[in-house]
Amino acid sequence: MITVKEALEHILGSVSPLGLERVDILSALGRIVGEDIHAPRDIPPRDNSAMDGYALKSEDTTGAGAESPVVLNVIEDIPAGYTPQKAVGSGEAARIMTGAPVPEGADAVVMVEETRSDGNSVRIYAEAAKGQNIRYAGEDVREGDLVMRAGTLLRPAETGMLSALGRSFVKVYQRPLVALIATGDELVDIDGAASPGKIVNSNNYSLAAQVMECGGIPLQIGIAKDNKDDLAEKFRDALRADIIVSSAGVSVGDYDFVKDVMEDIGIGIEFWQVAERPGKPMTFGAREGKPVFGLPGNPVSSMITFEQYVRPAILKMTGYENIFRRTIRAKLTEDIKKKRGLRYFIRGRIKSQGRGFVVETTGEQGSGILKSMVLANGIIVIPENVDFVKAGNEVMVQILDNSQDFTKDPEYLSD
Ligand code: AMP
Ligand code: MG
């Protein structure tokens, strides 16, 4: 039996990022860029106006004020999207709209509110400083700048930046195809829920959702019967995926053949059993570098072991560097007793209180109690060498989702 830390190190040491693929920038949302992105041009591409108003020579406005307007000749109209045709000379101005290129000769824009149009001339009621209301070419991004490094997570801001740079496609890390195999003679699909003696193969649903949540692509291989032939057939079929995840059949029961079958088809077992609860029978193997996870069958065990081991592996293969959930220290609201020697993953509900957080368990913690996951927004992690934690002490909590951060009311407006 190995420790959680050893298991995790072993797994992460044996997986590496997949190759790159070229996808359109909207499909790349949430994925990791696989190339350094340099700006092929300035943004904005030309000096342009930040206001609707008049482009002029700032020196022409010296002495202008509410009682002493200067009068300039209007030589043209430059709407956004059009190129100025004339240079602005002394005593001249061009009417200009926000975003339109600043004409040659002009070094400032006076906003329309400080002017009054009068036929072919305009009265300017305020002095303009050089550069006023002009957005300069390259003030956002300069040609040649490194705008994004390989390894950057693509968020909406990066999507916008790529489009501004004229990129409609970008290289990102491939998403792993994750084969899911359920094992057990008792399993049926959802529509067989009422059959006597049978239980629904819920693992392949929770696991598929977990795969999707971290950006993998689930491949449903289905339910393998508890016999070596059927198991071997399903595992062979699964070998076309990048990662294989099975559940159940890895304990010491008479029908637990998953490990035997893995070896039979050339998947070397690298470890079996981890000092943890839930998830002790967890198995890990590999064939030609392809990771194979034999997760335990109980619905909570399979979800928790996925969280601890499969998720970080998927994220690493997808090019992520930050592959772990955020952990928060929170004050326990109840005593926790545990067995020394095993690391415990306890389902909990965390919420903020004052400046910190408090966490309570979600009740009955049996590894078949899926409701304990439904109620949870975090996993309380208690180390091997501890057998009791008293209420009021701080524990580490892995945050499963952001629900504890969301609020019904806009609290940022409560000032
Ligand atoms: P096993 O390790 O095969 O003995 O399975 C442990 C427990 O998990 C048994 O109670 C199974 O019925 C249950 N189980 C196994 N596979 C699944 C699955 N795919 N969906 C839901 N429960 C399962
Ligand atoms: Mg079984």
CATH number assigned to the domain comprising residue 183: 3.40.980.10
pLDDT at 404: 66
Establish whether residue 184 lines the binding site of ligand 1, counting it when its CB lies within 6 angstroms of any ligand atom.
yes
CB-ligand 1 contact for 220 (6 Å cutoff): no
Tell whether 302 is covered by a domain. yes
The answer to whether residue 105 is domain-embedded is yes
Q: Which ligand has its closest atom nearest to the C-alpha of 226?
A: 2
Decide whether any atom of ligand 1 lies within 6 Å of the 221 Cβ. Answer: no
Cis peptide upstream of residue 278 (ω within 30 degrees of 0): yes
Q: Is the CB of 360 under 6 A from ligand 1?
A: no
Residue 322 lies in a domain: no
Average per-residue pLDDT for the chain = 96
Instruction: List the end-to-end C-alpha distance of the chain, in Å, as a whole number.
Output: 55
78 in a structural domain: yes
Beta pairing partners, 272: 283
In a shared domain, residues 77 and 115: yes
Ligand nearest the Cα of residue 305 is: 1
pLDDT (mean) for 250-267: 96
Decide: 298 in ligand 1 pocket, CB within 6 A.
Answer: yes
pLDDT at 58 over 90: yes
Q: Do residue 56 and residue 124 come from a single domain?
A: yes
- pLDDT higher than threshold 70 for residue 250: yes
What is the tens place of the pLDDT at every residue in 355-398? Answer: 999 999 999 999 999 999 999 999 999 999 999 999 999 999 99
Mean pLDDT for the stretch of residues 295-307: 98
pLDDT tier, 106 (very low <50, low <70, confident <90, very high otherwise) = very high
Could you tell me if 181 and 290 lie in one domain? yes
Residue 161 sits in a domain whose CATH number is: 3.90.105.10
For residue 297, pLDDT over 90 is answered with yes
Average pLDDT (98-113) is 97
Give dist(CA 250, CA 311) in Å, integer. Answer: 20
CA nearest ligand 1 atom 6, residue: 297
Distance (Å) from CA 143 to ligand 1 centroid = 58
In the chain, % of residues over pLDDT 70: 100
> Could you tell me if 101 and 186 lie in one domain?
no
Q: Are 7 and 282 in contact (CB under 8 A)?
A: yes
Q: Is 154 exposed, middle or buried (0-12, 13-18, 19+ CB in 10 A)?
A: buried
Ligand 1 and 253: CB distance under 6 A: yes
The pLDDT of residue 64: 97
Does 182 contact ligand 1 (Cβ within 6 A)? yes
CA angle 251, 297, 246 (to 5 degrees): 95
pLDDT surpasses 80 at 93? yes
Q: Which atom of ligand 1 is nearest to the CA of 182?
A: 19
Q: What is the CA radius of gyration of the chain?
A: 31
190 and 290, same domain (yes or no): yes
pLDDT band at 410 (very low <50, low <70, confident <90, very high): very high
CATH code of 374's domain: 2.40.340.10
At a CB cut-off of 8 Å and minimum separation 6, what does 178 contact? 211, 216, 217, 218, 219, 241, 242, 243, 244, 245, 310, 314
Which ligand has an atom closest to residue 248 CA?
1
Q: Which domain-ending residue is among 135, 162, 196?
A: 135
Mean pLDDT across the stretch 262-286?
97
279 lines ligand 1 (CB under 6 A): no
Phi (first) and psi of residue 347, to 5 degrees: -70, 130
Domain C-terminal end among 135, 162, 191:
135
Q: Which atom of ligand 1 is nearest to the CA of 186?
A: 12
CA of 294 to the centre of ligand 1 (A): 12
Same structural domain, 244 and 277: yes
Tell whether 142 is covered by a domain. no
Residues 101, 230, single domain; the answer is no
What residues pair up with 146 in beta bridges, in sequence order? 38
Does a structural domain hold residue 64?
yes
Closest CA to 264 of 298, 239, 240, 282: 239
| Distance set, CA 327 to CA 330, 356, 399, 414 (Å) | 9, 13, 6, 28
Closest CA to 39 of 163, 156, 157: 163
Q: Which of 67, 54, 96 is nearest to 79 (CA)?
A: 96
Q: Which domain holds residue 32?
A: 23-43+147-173
Query: How sure is the predictor about 349, in pLDDT bands with cuts at 50, 70 and 90?
Result: very high
User: Among positive and negative, which fits the CA dihedral 357, 362, 365, 371?
Assistant: negative
Residue 278 contacts residue 297 (beta carbons within 8 Å): no
180 lines ligand 1 (CB under 6 A): no
Cβ atoms of residues 55 and 61 within 8 Å:
no
Establish whether the linkage from the previous residue to 44 is cis, with ω within 30° of 0.
yes
Q: 128 CA to middle of ligand 1, Å?
A: 76
Cβ(294)–Cβ(258) below 8 Å: yes
**140 within some domain:** no
Instruction: Give the total number of structural domains in the chain.
Output: 4
Question: Which of 262, 294, 317 lies at the terminal end of a domain, its last residue?
Answer: 317
**What 3 state SS string does 353-390 have?**
ECCEEEEEECCCCCCCCCHHHHCCCEEEEECCCCCEEC
Q: pLDDT digits over 186-219, tens only?
A: 999 999 888 899 999 999 999 999 999 999 999 9
CA–centroid distance, 330 to ligand 2, in Å, is 36
Best of 185, 187, 206, 261 for a ligand 1 pocket test (most atoms within 8 Å of beta carbon) = 187
Instruction: Please tell me whether residues 213 and 73 are part of one structural domain.
Output: no
| 188 and 263 inside one domain | yes
| CB-CB contact of 346 with 336 (8 Å) | yes
Instruction: Specify whether 199 is located in the same domain as 303.
Output: yes
Q: For residues 179 and 52, give the distance between their C-alpha atoms in angstroms, rounded to a whole number.
A: 58
Nearest CA to ligand 1 atom 2: 248
Beta-bridged to residue 337, according to DSSP, are 388
- Does residue 30 sit in the same domain as residue 56? no
Task: Identify whether 141 is part of a domain.
Answer: no
Q: Phi and psi at residue 318, in whole multiples of 5°?
A: -90, 5
Average pLDDT over residues 218-244: 98
3-state secondary structure of 127: coil
Task: Provide the greatest CA pair distance for the chain.
Answer: 99
**Domain harbouring 81, CATH code:** 2.170.190.11
- Percentage with pLDDT > 90 across the chain: 94
Tokens encoding 354: 């004052």
Query: C-alpha 237: how far from its chain's center?
Result: 30
Ligand nearest to the CA of 297: 1
- When pLDDT is averaged across residues 105-117 and rounded to a whole number, the result is 97
Identify whether residues 229 and 313 lie together within a single domain: yes
| Of 305, 398, 300, residue with least CA distance to 357 | 398
